[in-house]
Chains A and B, each alone.
Chain A
Amino acid sequence: MEANAEADASVLHGAKIIEAVKQAGIEYVLSVPDLHTSRGLLFPIAEDPDLNLIRVCKEDECLGISAGLNYGNKRALILLQYTGFLYAMNAIRGVGVEYKQPSVLMIGMLGKEPGVLPQDSKRFGLRIIEPMLDVLGIPHIHIETDADIDGITPAINKAYETPFPTAILIGGKAI
């Protein structure tokens, strides 16, 4: 029984993340596919009648589309892999940070070891994500298990109320 309880405590349900995103008023999801979030998030989002999924070609497109939607009071989630975050850095800097747009970045931490904090990962690319967010001044939360999901809705709401970007690191692999 204890073993099962421990196993449950390490689980991250994509459905619960999606529910938290919807509670924050997100209507659009802008995404380049990421293996880390593919099964638990992107496939269910594609089938969700309450969310409009726009599949883009490059991650920096998302920053412009999200900002444009915001001018019409529509909220968007940018779902991307950590490599895409690195790729889109200039757009995040220019559109999100300097233009103070509520860019909501949900970042899949592909390859992160379960239960290990990003800064302690063996992978260089994962270790630098939080320091880079800190340099940009972008607040961030780390979602490893279901116990962390409660932070998602407030983080998105704060981004839109401020307005300023926010980052939600998906460390656990959502099922």
Chain B
Amino acid sequence: MMNRRKVLEALKERLTDEIVISTYSTASDWIDMSDRPLNFYSNGAMGLASSHGLGMALARPERRVIVLDGDGSLLMNLPTLVTIGRVAPVNFTHMVMCNGSYEANGGHPIPNQDVDFEAMAKAAQIEKTCTISAMQDFTGRLDWLLSEPGPIFASLQIEQGPLGPRSYKEMYRAERRQALRDALGADAK
């Protein structure tokens, strides 16, 4: 099992101009550690981080799009794997923080903690997949995760983090979404 903040710290050290989409508990850690215009914090409907990422990957094929999902969130939108497997954007990396828990909602367990998310991604015809449970393995694969033509799916086995609600108000400010638009040169508000 890995510590989520250590995973994110290692990721942060390797980033350049990638778009990073995060959600719930991972988003809370990520904004603390790497507050940058090219971040998008998925909100509004649990599970749609990967769908946002798919759209951005299609619209901005010159950039790598990294989705930092949660296992509870992915379960809310599991068919996204089928859609991603079909559309298959090469600039798309989907990392799922798996701790078997709806951590942001009090730490309740997901319905089945023995679910094999990598196998699900494989079954959805996402060919490049992995399951990582040790930091050394994660850092060793980071170049592959960030530069190999995708789509890539990675199930990251992590420890449960702090329980309960955190303040999402700061990360969901409209100014942050505008900063992403500005960084991408998007015209619309």
Contact = CB atoms under 8 A, between A and B. Distances in A.
A93 B59 contact: no
A95 interface: yes
B77 interface: yes
B187 interface: yes
Contact of B58 (A28, A60, A67, A90): A28
Nearest to A64: B51
A66 interface: yes
Interface stretch (B10-18, B37-45, B102-110, B143-151): B37-45
Nearest to B44: A94
Given A71-B60, A73-B59, A160 B48 contact: no
B181 interface: yes
A95 B77 CA distance: 14
A74 B83 CA distance: 19
A67 B52 contact: yes
B86 interface: yes
Interface of B: 40, 42-45, 47-60, 77, 79-80, 82-83, 86-87, 174, 177, 180-181, 184, 186-189
28 contacts: A52-B58, A55-B83, A55-B86, A57-B83, A60-B45, A60-B51, A61-B80, A63-B45, A64-B50, A64-B51, A64-B52, A64-B54, A65-B83, A69-B55, A71-B59, A71-B181, A71-B186, A72-B55, A72-B58, A72-B59, A94-B43, A94-B44, A94-B45, A98-B44, A99-B44, A102-B188, A160-B188, A163-B188
Interface of A: 28, 52, 54-58, 60-74, 76, 90-91, 93-95, 98-100, 102, 160, 163
